[in-house]
């Protein structure tokens, strides 16, 4: 039973696909700021 589980978990793995979309730094910065503001507001409500 354990051998079957190991075979499924370890032998069935495939490498992750390459990222097809280009990295967007400004969008990442905007999302980070939005999350920071939302978490800061949640902290003030408690």
Per-residue model confidence as pLDDT tens for the chain (46 residues): 777 777 777 766 666 667 677 778 898 999 999 999 988 888 875 5
Structural Rg of the chain based on CA atoms: 21
Tell me, what's the pLDDT at 45? 55
Alpha-carbon torsion 7, 8, 12, 16, what sign? negative
Q: Output b/e per residue, 1-31; b: 16+ Cβ within 10 A.
A: eeeeeeeeeeeeeeeeeeeeeeeeeeeeeee
pLDDT at position 3, please? 79
Give me the pLDDT at residue 33, please. Answer: 92
Q: Write down the pTM of the prediction.
A: 0.43
Note the pLDDT of residue 2.
78
């Amino acid at each position: 039973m354990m051998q079957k589980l190991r075979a499924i978990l370890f032998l069935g793995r495939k490498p992750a696909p390459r990222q097809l979309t280009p990295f967007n730094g400004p969008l990442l910065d905007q999302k980070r700021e939005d999350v920071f503001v939302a978490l800061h507001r949640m902290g003030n409500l408690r």
